[in-house]
Amino acid sequence: MPKLGMEPIRRDALIKAAIAEIGATGALEVTVSRIARRAGMSSALAHHYFGSKEQMFLAAMRHILAVYGAEMRGALVMARGPEQRLQALVRVSFSGSNFRRDAVSAWLNFYVMAQRNAQAARLLRIYQQRLRSNLRHALRPIAGARAADLAEGAAAMIDGVYLREALGTGEPNGTRAEQQVTSWLQAALSRRTE
Amino acid sequence: MPKLGMEPIRRDALIKAAIAEIGATGALEVTVSRIARRAGMSSALAHHYFGSKEQMFLAAMRHILAVYGAEMRGALVMARGPEQRLQALVRVSFSGSNFRRDAVSAWLNFYVMAQRNAQAARLLRIYQQRLRSNLRHALRPIAGARAADLAEGAAAMIDGVYLREALGTGEPNGTRAEQQVTSWLQAALSRRTE
Amino acid sequence: MPKLGMEPIRRDALIKAAIAEIGATGALEVTVSRIARRAGMSSALAHHYFGSKEQMFLAAMRHILAVYGAEMRGALVMARGPEQRLQALVRVSFSGSNFRRDAVSAWLNFYVMAQRNAQAARLLRIYQQRLRSNLRHALRPIAGARAADLAEGAAAMIDGVYLREALGTGEPNGTRAEQQVTSWLQAALSRRTE
Amino acid sequence: MPKLGMEPIRRDALIKAAIAEIGATGALEVTVSRIARRAGMSSALAHHYFGSKEQMFLAAMRHILAVYGAEMRGALVMARGPEQRLQALVRVSFSGSNFRRDAVSAWLNFYVMAQRNAQAARLLRIYQQRLRSNLRHALRPIAGARAADLAEGAAAMIDGVYLREALGTGEPNGTRAEQQVTSWLQAALSRRTE
DNA sequence: AATGAATGAGGATTCATTCAT
DNA sequence: GATGAATGAATCCTCATTCAT
């Protein structure tokens, strides 16, 4: 039942399957066959659409990144004032599709991938810069000159907490994560006002 | 030129080679042959001494952990007062053998390994608990009831900053990392005194 | 030149090649590569179709057994009266595809395999029981109550003679084997009529 | 504690261990290391004494054969008259050290070995001929011209019954085996007297 | 558009065997 | 006499990838 216009559907299915499979295995040592089977097609078709396993993984990474970016924009749109913007950025990092077990585990593997693959490294840097830039932007009115430093610290904190959730045994707990980051941010900010 | 008592020497060489190789490749997809060659022996001998690739990786992980623990103890011994203890813990995390490019990259891969391998997960948890426990201990006199929370946050911060260094392109910068964590800690602590 | 519907063809070729290779080598220490090469394909394809060397051997065993069973049924169909049924059973054991050098040698190795592999043991037992049951059936009208005992003995005799042919240097001689078993059977039966 | 005159002791221990190990594994795929360990020494020493794995197996085969021959001679010495000689030959085949699970299983593997190894084949033939010759000798006074044929048949019967015990799941049952052969022999003999 | 067929390359692991001590 | 050290040579098996249909 080959149909026309299947390409986007297939690609999407494969990306979702790749993330799910990586999440389930906990490693990048996932076979293309398994991913393809999970997506309901042959591995040959997967290659037809992505050219190589690596490209498929990159597409999956791009997908996670794109969704994360979209959610961030969406949250920022709703925010009123710097404090809310800050909260939005933190909250988005620990919620939505980006914080499901699958995605969290996938992230960990993208970190590893970024060590060898230039494209993956670039994608990662884009994500990091976007987050930092957004954090700086939100912090400027509140923290002034310290905004850059605080943004840097907040980003590290977010990554650290994210990592901990990725390695924990239970299901990731977004609320707890958010609170941890928020309380630190407030501490750093309140000190400023001294 | 077979000698007696080679076992500890060989094991040591293999562990070092494994860490170096993982660091160089940036991934766990390192072959036993490569590691063995780097350690100056046949892959068969590597298997003879470790039984399996996985056991070899675990030994490498244990080694990194042990050295880290030793350095931590050493620094704590020298510390006078809670503040110095705290500083020691942070400084040790970003210095010494534990913060060489190799080791940093190896850590990243151990994170991935811990997602599937129970033994690796256990080792990781031991490390995390030891760090948290040490941090709590040092924070108690300074932060009182908030010590537990702050220790938790500091640990996350350390991991986050560590992660950033692992993913950065340049050589890890321990001083910068230490300062980042320290300044946050001071912020959180100073708020307490309000 | 990939074609569709190759699976049964490939499986068949591999089974035949496995039997031939075992027969030629005289042992189970045959490599998958050799078998695959003899069957005109890569070892990877052999694994693709059988999953493992062991499964391939079991399939070969099942094949020999199935052919033997078919030949037995065929001979029984033609037989008129108990004596002819008996003769058919003995003759089939020492003729046809089941008594070619290859198969005879393969049998010997299946014996060994049956000592460790439960599935092989089961297959072997099925063959033994079928033969005994058929022998009992044929002997009942002739030997009455002694049928069970005689069937047991005839089966052992068949195996013993078969073994001797398997170990002999020359090509197995079916006629000689058949006669040996038959003459013993007649001796045992004639005693009954005393 | 290297002593002088250890050679025969070591060789003996290795032969016993080899038989035991083959019996336990049910196959020839036994490693020299395992055998040596079972015999309480290093694999290097095993090689020192036997030169190769194959030679060790042959020695084990020779040992089993020698013991079997000795037991046969012993039983024949005690026998009075042809009938007792016959009974002695059958009984010895299914009793003593030659009929322990270990040895029975080892025999099966020697059969396989005899298919490739000329020396093993020669040993096997010697055993077979000795048994046949002894059987003929005992049968001559009773069966006259038919002695040769009957000896042939009896030998096959012994092997067949032996095989069945080797493949059975339970412990070999010598009495049952002996009776089966004996009753057939008597049947064949009684027919002669008709 | 889709897939079964097919393989080359590689990788972990095993093991008989050798050798210096 | 005895062994730990060491390895080359296999062997099974996996997998990304290609291709004809």
Q: Transcribe C127-144 into DSSP letters.
A: HHHHHHHHHHHHHHHHHG
Whether chain C has a CB inside 8 Å of the CB on D114: the answer is: yes
* CB of B5 within 7 Å of some strand E atom: no
pLDDT digits (tens, 9 = 90+) for B159-191: 999 998 888 777 888 999 999 999 888 888 876
pLDDT digits (tens, 9 = 90+) for D122-165: 999 998 999 999 999 999 999 999 999 999 999 999 999 999 88
* CB of B27 within 7 Å of some strand E atom: no
> Can you say whether the dihedral through the CA atoms of A72, A74, A76, A79 is positive or negative?
negative
pLDDT confidence band for A191 (50 / 70 / 90): low
Q: Which of A2-6, A30-34, C30-34 has the lowest mean pLDDT?
A: A2-6
**Average pLDDT rounded to a whole number, residues D47-54:** 97
Cα distance between residue B167 and residue A166, in whole Å: 17
Cα distance between residue D80 and residue D87, in whole Å: 10
pLDDT score for B169: 77
pLDDT score for B192: 47
C contact residues 37-76, partner D, Cβ 8 Å cutoff: none
pLDDT score for B191: 65
Report the nucleotide nearest the CA of residue C31, measured to C1'.
F11
pTM, two decimals, is 0.91
pLDDT confidence band for A194 (50 / 70 / 90): very low
Residue nearest the C1' of E5 (CA based): C2
Q: Where are the beta strands (DSSP E) in chain B?
A: none
Percent of chain B with pLDDT strictly greater than 90: 67
In sequence order, the 6+-apart residues with CB closer than 8 A to the CB of A80 are none
Q: How far is the CA of D23 from the C1' of F18 (A)?
A: 48
Residue nearest the C1' of E3 (CA based): A42
Q: Which amino acid is at D37?
A: R
CA angle A52/A58/A63 to nearest 5° reads 130
Please report, to the nearest 10 degrees, the dihedral formed by the alpha carbons of residues C51, C52, C54, C57 taken in order. Answer: 70
CB within 7 A of strand E (chain D, 31-50): 31-33, 43-44, 47
From residue D123, alpha-carbon distances to D2, D61, D112, D127 in Å are: 34, 8, 13, 6
Could you tell me if residue B95 is left (phi over 0), alpha (psi between -120 and 50 degrees) or otherwise beta?
A: beta
Whether chain C has a CB inside 8 Å of the CB on D121: the answer is: yes
pLDDT score for D3: 57
* CB of A31 within 7 Å of some strand E atom: no
CB within 7 A of strand F (chain A, 24-63): 29-33, 43-44, 47, 51-54
**Tokens matching residue B116:** 């599937």
Q: How far is the CA of D44 from the C1' of E15 (A)?
A: 13
Whether chain B has a CB inside 8 Å of the CB on A180: the answer is: yes
pLDDT score for A109: 86
CA angle A116/A120/A125 to nearest 5° reads 110
pLDDT digits (tens, 9 = 90+) for B105-142: 888 888 889 988 999 999 999 989 999 999 999 999 99
pLDDT confidence band for D70 (50 / 70 / 90): very high
In sequence order, the 6+-apart residues with CB closer than 8 A to the CB of D94 are D161, D162, D165, D172, D174, D175, D177, D178, D181
Could you tell me if residue B144 is left (phi over 0), alpha (psi between -120 and 50 degrees) or otherwise beta?
A: left
CB contact under 8 A, D184 and C158: no
Among residues B35, B109, B171, B162, the alpha carbon closest in space to that of A113 is found at: B109
> Can you say whether the dihedral through the CA atoms of B52, B57, B58, B62 is positive or negative?
positive
pLDDT confidence band for D170 (50 / 70 / 90): confident
**Tokens matching residue B161:** 């900053």
Chains D and C touch (3+ CB pairs under 8 A): yes
Cβ–Cβ < 8 Å for D167, C111: yes
Q: Which of A103-117, A121-135, C77-91, C133-147 has the lowest mean pLDDT?
A: A103-117
Picking from A107, A108, A112 by the largest number of B CB atoms within 10 A of its own CB, the best residue to mutate is: A112
Picking from C159, C164, C193 by the largest number of D CB atoms within 10 A of its own CB, the best residue to mutate is: C159
Cβ–Cβ < 8 Å for C45, C10: yes
Cβ–Cβ < 8 Å for A172, A99: yes
Neighbours of C141 (CB within 10 A): 12
> Which bases of strand E sit closer than 7 A to a protein CB?
1-21
Q: Using the predicted structure, report yes or no on whether residue A193 has a pLDDT greater than 60.
A: no
Cα distance between residue C58 and residue C106, in whole Å: 11
**Average pLDDT rounded to a whole number, residues D73-84:** 92
**Displacement of CA C95 from its chain's centroid (Å):** 10
More confident site: A169 or C95: C95
Instruction: Compare CB distances from B153 to A27, A162, A184 and report the shortest one's residue.
Output: A184
* CB of C25 within 7 Å of some strand F atom: no
**Tokens matching residue D192:** 């002669």
Cα distance between residue B57 and residue B18, in whole Å: 7
Ranges of residues in chain C with a pLDDT under 70 are 1-2, 191-194
Q: Which amino acid is at B194?
A: E
**Tokens matching residue A54:** 């690596």
Q: Which amino acid is at D68?
A: Y
Give the DSSP letter of residue D28. Answer: S
In sequence order, the 6+-apart residues with CB closer than 8 A to the CB of C169 are D121
* CB of B8 within 7 Å of some strand F atom: no
Cβ–Cβ < 8 Å for B159, B131: no
From residue C96, alpha-carbon distances to C18, C67, C103, C157, C170 in Å are: 18, 9, 10, 19, 17
**Average pLDDT rounded to a whole number, residues B27-49:** 95
Q: Give chain A's largest Cα–Cα span.
A: 69
Whether chain D has a CB inside 8 Å of the CB on C187: the answer is: yes
Q: Which residue has the tokens 């952990």?
A: B65
Residue nearest the C1' of F3 (CA based): D42
Q: Neighbouring chains of D at 3+ CB pairs within 8 Å?
A: C
**Average pLDDT rounded to a whole number, residues D90-94:** 94
* CB of D6 within 7 Å of some strand F atom: yes
Which H or E run includes A143? helix A118-143
Torsion angles phi and psi, residue C26, rounded to 5:
80, 15
* CB of D27 within 7 Å of some strand E atom: no
Length of chain D: 194
Cβ–Cβ < 8 Å for A160, B133: no
Cα distance between residue D193 and residue C187, in whole Å: 11
In sequence order, the 6+-apart residues with CB closer than 8 A to the CB of B125 are none
More confident site: A127 or B38: B38
Length of chain C: 194
Q: How far is the CA of C114 from the C1' of E19 (A)?
A: 40
Q: How far is the CA of C168 from the C1' of E14 (A)?
A: 34
In sequence order, the 6+-apart residues with CB closer than 8 A to the CB of C140 are C82, C147
Length of chain A: 194
Residue nearest the C1' of F9 (CA based): B44
pLDDT score for C191: 65
Chains C and B touch (3+ CB pairs under 8 A): no
Picking from D111, D113, D132 by the largest number of C CB atoms within 10 A of its own CB, the best residue to mutate is: D111
HSE-CB for A87 with a 13 A CA cutoff: 11
Cα distance between residue D155 and residue D157, in whole Å: 5
CB contact under 8 A, A184 and B180: no
From residue A181, alpha-carbon distances to A62, A175, B86, B157, D17 in Å are: 25, 10, 20, 10, 66
Whether chain A has a CB inside 8 Å of the CB on B191: the answer is: yes
Report helix angle A118-143 to A53-78, nearest 10. Answer: 10
* CB of B31 within 7 Å of some strand E atom: yes
Whether chain B has a CB inside 8 Å of the CB on A126: the answer is: no
Q: Which amino acid is at D20?
A: A
**Displacement of CA A88 from its chain's centroid (Å):** 15
Q: Using the predicted structure, report yes or no on whether residue D1 has a pLDDT greater than 70.
A: no
pLDDT score for D191: 66
* CB of B4 within 7 Å of some strand E atom: yes
Mean pLDDT, chain D, whole residue set: 90
Residue nearest the C1' of E20 (CA based): B2
CB contact under 8 A, D183 and C29: no
Among residues C30, C35, C43, C29, the alpha carbon closest in space to that of C16 is found at: C35
Q: How far is the CA of D108 from the C1' of F4 (A)?
A: 35
pLDDT score for A106: 87
10 Å CB burial of residue A23 (0-12, 13-18, 19+) is: buried
Cα distance between residue B79 and residue C95, in whole Å: 90
Report helix angle B43-50 to B7-25, nearest 10. Answer: 110
pLDDT score for A1: 47
Give the DSSP letter of residue B193. Answer: T
pLDDT digits (tens, 9 = 90+) for B52-73: 999 999 999 999 999 999 999 9
Among residues B93, B194, B168, B164, the alpha carbon closest in space to that of A151 is found at: B164
pLDDT score for C190: 79
The b/e string for C16-52 (b: 16+ C-beta within 10 A; e otherwise) is bbbbbbbbebbbbebebeebbebbebebeebeebbee
CB within 7 A of strand F (chain B, 19-48): 41-45, 48
**Displacement of CA A153 from its chain's centroid (Å):** 18
pLDDT score for D4: 59
* CB of B33 within 7 Å of some strand E atom: yes
